[in-house]
Amino acid sequence: MSTVTATALQSENPPIIPLPFNANQPQTIKLYPLSNYTFGVKETQPEEDPSVIARLKRLEEHYNAHGMRRTCEGILVCHEHNHPHILMLQIANAFFKLPGDYLRPEDDEVDGFKARLDERLAPVGRIGEGEEAGDWHVGDCLAQWWRPNFETFMYPFIPAHVTRPKECKKLYFIELPKSKVLSVPKNMKLLAVPLFELYDNTARYGPQLSAIPHLLSKYNFEFVNENDEVVAATPGVGPDGYVPKTKVLAGGSGGDEDMNDAKEEENGTA
């Protein structure tokens, strides 16, 4: 490249570099591309309750026998075009939820959570070579949502008048490895939803899922390509013209998905 060309490519007004701004910053997280992961389907997992009323009735029975129900769900993050995407389930083409479920009364929190993740996403017969049961890296607890009563509403705090909440749901950051095999039940879809789509979108995803971009804003990300090379890092942008879209990974026809009519169950509270 000639000196004239090189000079022409340089800005006449170079950026002003501020002092370091990383005090008390959590570790930078590596995000691997969606193409690194293999997706499949497995046998149907029918819903335990035929209705919301039945679900709340079962919650009441659980509370009377075992006390507050403990629920754990995972925020699994990868990237597409250097934009973070969240892996989540869509059930009956109607509502969204994160992988995970309530713990059994006798379960240890983390081990029980890993078992519920296996039920939802682990391949049958351990298709992924070298994978073992509970092979999940459970990271930070990013949020706690509380159910004060036997109702659908949950809050990110315990209301002042409530002394015995009926359920606590924890959202954990799950660090995905470089590659992994994931399988979704036939009656569900596994989606990759961009943060852009979730942000400030309570009408479609409810308060819990639409808050995920806020929860992840504490981290800086490095975006790794298929050759294990860091190609971008926050702050940064994807390729020109790319508009993040939800992608169906398994359990559907595949490709980009229009989610305008789908909503998270009970507006993100159940």
Residue 196 belongs to domain with CATH number? 3.90.79.10
Q: Which of 253, 238, 111 is nearest to 190 (CA)?
A: 253
Stretch 136-160: mean pLDDT: 97
- State the total domains in the chain: 1
Residue 239: CB atoms within 10 A of its CB come to: 9
168 band by pLDDT with thresholds 50, 70 and 90: very high
Long-range pairs, 47-50, Cβ under 8 A, ≥24: 47/91
Residue 2 resides in a domain: no
Q: Is the pLDDT of residue 13 over 50?
A: yes
Do the domain assignments include residue 238? yes
Report pLDDT for 1.
44
Q: What is the pLDDT of residue 202?
A: 95
pLDDT at 253: 53
Is residue 17 included in any domain, yes or no? Answer: no
Q: Regarding predicted confidence, which is higher, 107 or 234? A: 107
Instruction: Classify burial at 158, counting beta carbons within 10 Å of its beta carbon; exposed 0-12, middle 13-18, buried 19 or more.
Output: middle
Is residue 15 domain-resident? no
166 class by beta-carbon count within 10 Å (0-12 exposed, 13-18 middle, 19+ buried): buried
Q: Is residue 248 part of a domain?
A: yes
CA–CA gap between residue 262 and residue 108 (Å, rounded): 34
Residues in the chain: 270
pTM of the model: 0.85
Dump pLDDT digits (tens) for 54-79. Answer: 999 999 999 999 999 999 999 999 99
Which tens digits make up the pLDDT trace of 15-42?
888 888 888 989 899 999 999 999 999 9
Mean pLDDT computed over every residue of the chain: 86
128 vs 199, more confident:
199
Domain for residue 106, yes or no?
Answer: yes
Question: Count H helices, E strands: the chain?
Answer: 6, 14
pLDDT for 23 equals: 87
Range of the domain at 129: 43-268
